[in-house]
Structure 1
Amino acid sequence: MNKGMVLAGTAGVLWGTIPLAVKQVYATGSATALEMSFFRFVIAAVLVGGLARTKKQPILLRNKWSVLMGFWGVFWMSFISFYGINYTSAVNATILFNSNPLLVAVLVMGLRWETVTARTLAGVVLGIAGVVVVSGLRADIHLLGDLLVLIGAFGWAVYTVLGYKLKEHSSLTVTSSSLFWGLPFFMTFFREVPAISNVGWLWILYIGLIPTAFAFACYIKAVDLIGSTHAAVFQYLAPVVAVIVSVACGLEEVTLLQVAGVVMIIGGIELVRSQ
């Protein structure tokens, strides 16, 4: 396995721990989705921006696409999905969030940027069926959480599509710029200094340093080495890791429906990608 695959795999594994870590912060009762998301990206912006600077690449792009990517891919994505995690299981959240390539396909089809084929439609339908299997059709609190996570994932899909507009810039510069532009949107909602517990801060530091900043750096380098198409496949490791950690640590129960849903979602994404 080459270096690019190792880096992409590392990112995928680390991303799978985010919802589990968010659950631990919620367990302290001392931080909200907004606070977790803001400090997560403050940490990430400083580190990714520093990495861009050491490589003598631009840290901030001054155009509307970067601002929009900051809103959708940083503020909206994290705030809404973290809020949803409080109302569903970490396993469900990881599975559903990583169905976002299907949302990208739907957006691209809606914008008519690509020709819609039978294979693409079949992939989207299969993936959506997997989402339904994972979430079920129960009108309970889990369904609310699942819907919020999907709405958050929609933000990441928009971020991905907007990225097409900045292809002339490096992925490191685009990521750094998006992180910095996303922060002001969080700040408009702050009314007082949050009183977060020491344990809560430790988990937030973990989320910001490891599965956000470090994972972003790994993924960016992986894209440079093996390309975005090959690197993106490794996001499938995220739900697998969430399942393994949940079972191994006794954090949550994992059902056969969740496993079946993962298989259907991955199958749907691969049908779309193979087009």
Structure 2
Amino acid sequence: MACNLPDSGSIRPQSVTWPKPACPVSVGSSSLADVTTTQDPGQAAARPTTTRTWLPVAAVATTLVLWASAFVAIRHLGDDFSAGPLALGRNAVGALALLALALPRFRRPGPGQWWRLVVIGLLWYAVYNVALNEGEQHVDAGTASLVLQSAPVMVALLAAVFLGERFTATKAVGLALAIAGVGLISTSGSGSGDPGSDLLGVLLCALAALVYAVSLIVQKPLMATLPAVEVTAVACAVGAVACLPWAGRLVDEAAAAPTSSVLWMVYLGLFPTAIGFTCYAYALNHMPASNLAVTTYLIPVITIVMAWLLLDETPASLAYVGGVVTLVGVSIARRRPRAVPAA
């Protein structure tokens, strides 16, 4: 159910050209915000500002669509791949694609950065994917995406503690509502029809949300000094290594699965993982972590529509209620306090 793909822009030794990018990924230490284009001299002064404005927005939009499709793809692959092997296959494909971009201009991370990369790889790319994959064995794609919407308020709380971002009373109310919404979803009976199995699925998705929030906070400082594509590539490779114990089962399940399912697994690695996470990392470097995280409230809407069209499944009625409560909580948490006029 997670859209891992984007450069920090802190070091720009030269401009690069990238034909028709699917998202604003970075190559080496240069950002696509630096791509040179032919333009009218009279517009030269205005163009850079416009580019810097729309690139992060495009990165976020790309991430939302790709991550929404990941929920549907994971649910579709549940009959052919178990949680661990699917996480390994997805991370392996994503790591290969990202390393091909990052290695030509790889910048060696500093001693204080390696631990962050390892933690992100273990949590966001290994634990998150395994928990999400197993969770979607028990609940439908739309329900899983609704549970994941508790993550933004977790990010807001953690950002206040570790990044110095403000955690106001309004955000506290939003957090409480988000937790209540997840509680409603957990009792909705979405998925297998077995209450125990459904609850397990919701708890696994909630674990994925918590891991996502922690990983986002750990990753934030890296984006000021390292190219986003490098951060994503190294973390994805760490996640793949962590999932290697499932290598034997992946080979067996891939051999037994239809070709279409294997291609869907490759899709998960290339698009939601490689492109999605890099675009998200790019956007993270251009806006506050808590503000960026709440943009994911659109993912459940996209996911539910995709799941209805492609899988002919929708969440239970109570799950919609819980989802609305969760999204209201997220909306409240993202509100900024009004400025008080000077006396």
Coarse TM-score class (shorter-chain normalised): 0.7 to 0.9
Q: Who is 2:234 aligned against?
A: 177
What residue ranges of structure 1 are gaps of 5+ in the alignment? none
Q: Cα gap change, 1:199/1:137 in structure 2, threshold over 3 Å: closer, same or farther?
A: closer
**In 2, Cα distance between the equivalents of 1:104 and 1:228?**
7
Bigger CA drift: 126-135 or 212-221? 212-221
Q: Cα gap change, 1:57/1:266 in structure 2, threshold over 3 Å: closer, same or farther?
A: farther
- For 2:326, the aligned partner's letter is I
Match of 1:143 among 176, 195, 199: 199
TM-score by length of 1: 0.85
Give the RMSD, CA atoms, in angstroms.
2.8
Give the structure, 1 or 2, with the largest relative contact order (CA under 8 Å, sep 6 or more). Answer: 1
**In 1, Cα distance between the equivalents of 2:125 and 2:285?**
22
**In 2, Cα distance between the equivalents of 1:246 and 1:167?**
33
**In 2, Cα distance between the equivalents of 1:178 and 1:2?**
27
Answer yes or no: is 1:211 the counterpart of 2:269.
no
The offset of 1:240, in angstroms, is 0.8
Q: Cα gap change, 1:82/1:72 in structure 2, threshold over 3 Å: closer, same or farther?
A: same
Preserved contact between residue 76 and residue 155 of structure 1 (Cα < 8 Å):
yes
Q: Cα gap change, 1:52/1:269 in structure 2, threshold over 3 Å: closer, same or farther?
A: farther
Q: Cα gap change, 1:88/1:61 in structure 2, threshold over 3 Å: closer, same or farther?
A: farther
Q: Secondary structure at the match of 1:240?
A: helix
Answer yes or no: is 1:122 the counterpart of 2:180.
no
Q: Which has the higher helix share?
A: 1
Answer with 1 or 2: which has the greater Rg. 2
Q: Secondary structure at the match of 1:140?
A: helix
Match of 2:90 among 40, 55, 67: 40
- For 2:132, the aligned partner's letter is S
**In 2, Cα distance between the equivalents of 1:65 and 1:267?**
32
Q: Who is 2:107 aligned against?
A: 58
> How do 1:107-256 residues align onto structure 2 when only pairs under 5 Å count?
107-108=158-159, 116-136=167-187, 139-170=195-226, 171-191=228-248, 193-196=251-254, 197=257, 198-223=259-284, 231-249=292-310, 251-256=312-317
The offset of 1:145, in angstroms, is 0.6
Match of 1:9 among 51, 61, 81: 61
The offset of 1:248, in angstroms, is 3.1
Bigger CA drift: 153-162 or 83-92? 153-162
Q: Cα gap change, 1:60/1:36 in structure 2, threshold over 3 Å: closer, same or farther?
A: farther
Q: Who is 2:10 aligned against?
A: none
Q: Who is 1:69 aligned against?
A: 120
Bigger CA drift: 133-142 or 73-82? 133-142
**In 1, Cα distance between the equivalents of 2:284 and 2:166?**
25
Q: Cα gap change, 1:221/1:121 in structure 2, threshold over 3 Å: closer, same or farther?
A: closer
What do residues 201-253 of structure 1 show as CA deviations (whole Å, max 9, x unaligned)? 11101111122212223334444566656644432221111111223346213
What count of residue pairs does the alignment treat as equivalent?
A: 272
Bigger CA drift: 57-66 or 172-181? 57-66
Q: Cα gap change, 1:221/1:51 in structure 2, threshold over 3 Å: closer, same or farther?
A: farther
TM-score by length of 2: 0.70
The offset of 1:10, in angstroms, is 1.8
**In 2, Cα distance between the equivalents of 1:250 and 1:26?**
12
Q: Who is 2:134 aligned against?
A: 83
Preserved contact between residue 20 and residue 90 of structure 1 (Cα < 8 Å):
yes
